[in-house]
Amino acid sequence: MGELLRFTIPVFAVGAIAFWWAGRRVSAEVRRHRWIKFATYVVIVHAVLLATVLGRRSLLALLAVIVLLGLWEMSRATSRLRPLVAAGALITFALIAAGAIGLATEVASSFVGYLYIVVAVFDGFSQAGGQLAGRTKLAPSISPAKTVEGFLIGAASSVGCAVMLRRMASLSPAHAMTLGAIVAVAGVAGDLAASWVKRRAGLKDFGTLLPGHGGVLDRFDSFLTVAAVMSVVSYS
């Protein structure tokens, strides 16, 4: 865990500076919301990493909780949709959840921890980058807050993180760069898919369990999707 903390603490310190800089011209209420979200994110990231350090059983137990809560949230959201659309969303989520759990049963917990860090860096820096430099909307009809600039900053950060920590997963620089790119593409795809469901259901968030983030799926949609994609890549 000490090695992980030597990475996460500086990264979150940089993130805190970025959030402070981006929040200079927003209202006090928006600034407070952002800091609550940031602090909650710090706790979530280290809770997941602790589970990976404790071993496969702890990791699978955590994933089971995430999946069950996510299924409950998705069921509530899709109850507002037409039956065929709801069935498609639930089946897609079930496949993604199965893929994520399958990955955790097949690879070392340290690899899942490595993957989660890369996803977390992508999520964090794409949001901070969007707030600092975002100009061009990425998918305005689905998620108006996401920007092309934020995605590119997040993607560059995820590739850099994947390469920097590649020894955790015993990857070559080229393989680590590829993984970082997969994380960026799959992560934003999962996030946009979840946003599409929420938009069709008329919801802002999937729930209220995580302060500043919303529901469990609001925080773990990217990671579950990335893990599911990596399970396919690993098995192929």
Q: Where does the pLDDT of residue 235 fall: very low under 50, low under 70, confident under 90, or very high at 90 and above?
A: low
Q: Please say whether the beta carbons of 141 and 97 come within 8 A.
A: no
pLDDT digits 0-9 by tens, 183-231: 999 999 999 999 999 999 999 999 999 998 899 999 999 999 999 999 9
In SS3 terms, 76-145 reads as: HHHCCCCHHHHHHHHHHHHHHHHHHHHHHHHCCHHHHHHHHHHHHHHHHHHHHHHHHHCCCEEECCCEEE
pLDDT digits 0-9 by tens, 26-83: 788 888 887 888 889 899 999 999 999 999 999 999 999 999 999 999 999 999 999 9
Closest to 210 measured CA to CA, from 196, 220, 202, 201: 220
Count Cβ atoms within 10 A of the Cβ of residue 25 and give its class: 0-12 exposed, 13-18 middle, 19 or more buried: exposed
DSSP structural state of residue 146: E
Q: Please say whether the beta carbons of 101 and 231 come within 8 A.
A: no
Handedness of CA 28, 33, 36, 41 (dihedral sign): negative
CB atoms closer than 10 angstroms to residue 17: 11
Residue 186's pLDDT is 97
Q: Please say whether the beta carbons of 145 and 123 come within 8 A.
A: no
Count Cβ atoms within 10 A of the Cβ of residue 134 and give its class: 0-12 exposed, 13-18 middle, 19 or more buried: buried
| Cα separation values, 96 from 68, 103, 150, 168, 236, Å | 13, 11, 25, 24, 16
pTM of the complete model beyond 0.95? no
As beta bridge partners, residue 139 has 143
List of residues 6+ apart from 53 with CB closer than 8 A? 1, 4, 109, 113
